[in-house]
Amino acid sequence: MSKPRFFSAHLEEKVIELMGEEAHHLANVRRVRVGEQVELFDGAGQIVIGRVNKLNKKSAQIEVLERLKKGLAKLEVVVACALAKGSRWDWLIEKCVELGATKIWPVLFERSVVKGAGSTTQLEKWNRRALEAAKQCGRAYLPQIAQPRVLEKVLTDTNDNCLGVVGTLNESAKPILVVLEKARPERVALLVGPEGGLTEKEQALTEANGYEPVFLGKNTLRVETAAAGLLAAIRAWQDKNNQLSSG
């Protein structure tokens, strides 16, 4: 059985103190008791296995037993997706964390339903959702989540040593696995537009910046479904190549 996982930005000490929400989660949600072992991670690859040696209403002290370091994934994946409303975007963040996205960029398109630049409070909420997902799925690295940005900014920030792909319903477009196998990239930018599709101007911009259309299938998908489906395909391709290289 896996050990309960908790987050701490600082794992350097021999005895680590959890406070606030993480201490509450340990004692009152997971009901960990003195003497039990837990796993701590800092979101940047550092992992600690420790034993709870002191516990009260406000804090928990964990004695370090073992330190581990997880390396970064060989493939960096940026998910740049049209911002969806409320719980749909929360769901997308959760799935992006589980499926190994390195960065999550909400994008404002001309046909976007959700407008606005976002707020600090909103970004904090998104990062909290990502942290909860990472704790649950065992991920050692937290993705970088950005404020909403316009398409032009996304294209500018992904034009160096990056395979750019954009989801489309055009049946002449290639499946994403074919595109990945041909390019064999070390960095992928996955662009998913709004349910109304990209405008002609936006489509021309993506093509001018080297983005290759990939077929989403015959059914019209919600943005979060399209993003998660394509990301899962990228993850499957990555896992296959990792197995071949290590076999």
Summarised one tens digit per residue, pLDDT across range 101-117 is 999 999 999 988 876 66
- Flag whether pLDDT at 155 surpasses 70: yes
130 pLDDT above the threshold of 70: yes
Identical fold between 5-69 and 76-246: no
Question: What confidence score (pLDDT) does residue 52 get?
Answer: 97
**Region 146-174: what's the mean pLDDT?**
93
Rounded mean pLDDT of 4-16? 96
User: Does the pLDDT at position 98 exceed 60?
Assistant: yes
pLDDT of 124 higher than 80 = yes
Please tell me which residue, 160 or 51, carries the higher pLDDT value: 51
- Looking at 3.40.50.300, 3.40.1280.10, 3.40.50.150, 2.40.50.100, the CATH number of the domain 76-246 comes to 3.40.1280.10
State residue 240's pLDDT score.
Answer: 87
For residues 234-241, give the mean pLDDT: 91
Residue 245: predicted pLDDT = 62
**Per-residue pLDDT tens digits for 204-220:** 999 999 999 999 988 88
Per domain, the residue ranges of the chain are 5-69, 76-246
Question: How far, in Å, CA of 71 to CA of 113, rounded?
Answer: 38
| Spatial distance between the Cα atoms of 112 and 16, rounded to a whole number of angstroms | 45
Reply yes or no on whether the pLDDT at 137 is more than 90.
Answer: yes
Closest CA to 7 of 31, 29, 25: 25
Retrieve residue 141's tokens: 């690295």
Write the DSSP assignment of 120-151 as a string of letters. HHHHHHHHHHHHHHHHHHT-SBPPEEPPPEEH
Residue 112: both structure tokens together: 């976007």
Written as one string, the DSSP assignment of 197-209 is ---HHHHHHHHHT
Is the CATH code 3.40.50.1950 the one for domain 5-69?
no
Q: pLDDT by residue (tens digit) across 166-198? A: 999 899 999 999 999 999 999 999 999 998 889
Residue % of the chain over a pLDDT of 90: 82
Closest CA to 81 of 188, 189, 179: 189
- Report the DSSP pairing between strands 59-69 and 15-19: antiparallel
Instruction: Check residue 116 and give its pLDDT.
Output: 65
Whether the Cβ atoms of residue 214 and residue 168 lie closer than 8 Å to each other: yes
State the average pLDDT for the chain. 92
Instruction: Please compute, for residue 19, the number of CA atoms within 13 A of its CA located in the half-sphere on the CB side.
Output: 3
What pLDDT is recorded for position 244? 66
Alpha-carbon distance values, 226 to 36, 91, 105, 169 (Å): 41, 13, 15, 11
CB atoms within 10 A of CB 204: 11
